[in-house]
Structure formats: C-alpha cells, structure tokens
C-alpha cells in the first residue's frame, strides 16, 4: 500500500475507533478495544479502503502521533485518545509534579495568569 493509501486508511481507522465504529458494523468494548479481524473485514466491506493485517501493523507502528495500540497478541486494537464515544482507556492515575509546563504563545500569558486555562472547543 502506498504512503498516501496508508495515511488515508489510518484516518479512516481513527474515525472508526474514536467516533463511529457502527459505520462498519463493529463495536468497541468498555475500554475502546475492537476485534482486529472484525475491523479489517468491516473496512474491506465498506468499499472505500482495503486493509490487511500487514498494513494495519504498519499503520500502528509508523503513526507519528501513536494513535493506536494493539493488545499483546494483536487480536485487539484501540485508539489511544480522542474518543467521542464513551470509553475508559485505562490511563494510570499519577500525581502531577510541582511544576507543569503549558506550551502557549507569549501573548496569552497575561490572560492565563489572570483567568487560568479556559477550556475551548477544538
């Protein structure tokens, strides 16, 4: 599969695993895991993309943002973050350090100092 084909299929997988598993007739468990064979079959049935196990493993391995994870035996896959469907991706709770850094443009620091960080729609 070409690099552009992998990128396009990766975006489609992201849509499925983060937002619309029902688009290809699959479901996610409570932790966001999907059966790999069902994902591959569903994508191939959908008509817009072709996916093999080898291509899926390459997508997961080379994704710059590390969007996906396999379980140990590669029978399950999930998106690591960004879900609009309710899932618990089992993140380990940690105590934050005394100092945290937030990357932002310098022109916004006065506002952040006054109001703190404000959630925005992204």
Is residue 109 scored above 90 in pLDDT? no
User: Are the CB atoms for 17 and 79 separated by under 8 Å?
Assistant: yes
The residue count of the chain comes to 122
Q: Please state the separation of Cα 12 from the chain's center in Å.
A: 11
Q: What is the pLDDT of residue 111?
A: 87
Q: 3-class SS at 39?
A: helix
Is residue 32 scored above 90 in pLDDT? yes
Question: What are the helix (H) ranges across 47-98?
Answer: 53-62
What's the average model confidence in pLDDT over 15-37?
96
Is residue 74 scored above 80 in pLDDT? yes
User: Are the CB atoms for 85 and 19 separated by under 8 Å?
Assistant: yes
User: Are the CB atoms for 24 and 45 separated by under 8 Å?
Assistant: yes
């Amino acid at each position: 599969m070409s690099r552009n084909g992998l990128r396009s299929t990766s975006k489609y997988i992201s849509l499925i695993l983060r937002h619309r598993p029902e688009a290809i007739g699959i479901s996610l468990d409570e932790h966001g895991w999907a059966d790999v064979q069902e994902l591959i079959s569903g994508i191939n049935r959908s008509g817009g993309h072709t996916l093999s196990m080898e291509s899926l493993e390459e997508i997961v391995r080379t994704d710059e943002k590390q969007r996906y994870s396999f379980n140990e035996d590669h029978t399950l896959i999930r998106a690591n973050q960004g879900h609009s469907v309710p899932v618990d991706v089992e993140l380990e709770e940690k105590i934050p350090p005394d100092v945290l850094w937030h990357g932002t443009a310098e022109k916004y620091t006065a506002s952040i100092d006054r109001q703190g960080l404000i959630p925005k729609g992204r």
